[in-house]
Amino acid sequence: MAGKAPKKSAKVAKKPPAAKSAKPTTAAAPKLLSGGNPQIAKGFGDAPIQAYIAAMPDWKSDVGRRLDTLIVRAVPEVHKAVKWNSPFYGMDDKHWFLSFHCFAKYIKIAFLRGAELKPVPPVTSTQKEVRYFHIHEGDKLDEAQFTSWVTQASKLPGLKM
């Protein structure tokens, strides 16, 4: 057998395993809790606030964006967080002066030391220091008054949470 070249074995190219059909991944929309309040994971910074605002149903999302804009304009150094499925605004990551929450027919803005604001926001609370301001669909927000409350509230000692 000398002088004969070894026989080459024919290689059959194997096909790569069939790729599994990739389903497009879409982030699930946040669950809306009773009254239409978005369920957003607790988090600090602007991103969770923006996720909450984007998930607010119907007309409430536009109002949420406007509230956030007015708060940041009034207090540029504001800290933000989502806690208990509500946006919170404070002067550091432990002391908070304002939050808001969606209900079926309105947005409830909570000034956590609202009893000290001038004029005092109109809606009382079971907690003596807290005062609320409600915004219903079609209400015209008095931006000057809201901004005044935000500015005043940011200068008060925030509630530790």
pTM (whole model) above 0.85? no
* Distance of alpha carbon 134 from alpha carbon 137, whole angstroms: 10
pLDDT of residue 7: 54
> pLDDT class for 122, splitting at 50, 70, 90?
very high
pLDDT digits (tens, 9 = 90+) for 13-64: 454 444 444 444 444 566 666 676 778 888 999 999 999 999 999 999 999 9
* Distance of alpha carbon 106 from alpha carbon 139, whole angstroms: 10
Domains and CATH numbers, the chain: 34-160 (3.90.1150.200)
* Distance of alpha carbon 44 from alpha carbon 82, whole angstroms: 6
Q: Out of 3-12, 14-23, 39-48, 130-139, give the one with best mean pLDDT.
A: 130-139
Indicate whether 158 pLDDT > 90: no
* Distance of alpha carbon 30 from alpha carbon 102, whole angstroms: 14
Phi, psi at residue 98, to the nearest 5°? -155, 145
CA distances from 123 to 93, 120, 131 (A): 26, 9, 6
Burial of residue 17 (CB within 10 Å: 0-12, 13-18, 19+) is exposed
Higher confidence at residue 32 or residue 134? 134
